Copies of this chain bind each other. A is one copy, B any other.
């Protein structure tokens, strides 16, 4: 039995609360069960070096965990001297996922949106929560740019959200919590768009290779989960996008 009597194909309780930071151009606190991520989107009038002079904008992300977001306290990155490999991998994933639905040539020039995803509490699925919440923060930031007359409309083609699915003790489960994730034989993160497009698929066999059949079943389950997540995003953003 899953915690809270969830069905195998059921999301945890998901909530997205916007406007939680008075400075950020867009912000939300996203929860997938006990996983809580603060997503703050910042608009800056500058782009990375490789885009200078291009007239195009950019969207990027940073991801970090508070030291006590986990059961065992972890050292801050700065103490170890570098962003750890896992965090670096996740923040690159978040950035790519958000950029996949943005028309960066319509960002009003060389503007950059940085989405900071800071994990307040981690209980599995921090990267999928970060993408799902990060999308909301990004839309809010674009909306601020519309209000500030930098752009005339939000340059985003469709919604995007993310969810994990995996095989745990021969059961196929959606939206794994930390305990399930730790016992997982194979774990796939799906980032899908509103129209069913694939943005990212990252499937990993934890201990040994898994079958193509399992992969296809997890894919199916994830598509339904993503639809639910996008419904929740839309409820929050309905007045503006």
Contacts and interface: CB of A to CB of B under 8 A. Distances in A.
A107 to B, nearest CB: 15
Interface residues of A, number: 65
B78 A67 contact: no
A207 B103 CA distance: 9
Given A193-B209, A204-B96, A73 B114 contact: yes
Interface string A181-200: 00000101000110111111
B209 A195 contact: yes
A53 to B, nearest CB: 17
Contacts of A120: 21, 38
A6 to B, nearest CB: 18
Given A77-B78, A85-B91, A66 B116 contact: yes
Contact of A100 (B66, B81, B208): B208
A106 interface: no
Contact of A205 (B34, B44, B199): B199
Contact of A212 (B70, B116, B118, B198): B198
A69 B203 CA distance: 29
Given A78-B78, A96-B204, A38 B66 contact: yes
Given A67-B114, A198-B205, 18 more contacts: A23-B68, A24-B68, A62-B67, A68-B116, A85-B88, A85-B91, A85-B92, A88-B89, A100-B208, A100-B209, A157-B208, A188-B201, A193-B209, A197-B205, A198-B203, A198-B210, A199-B204, A201-B215
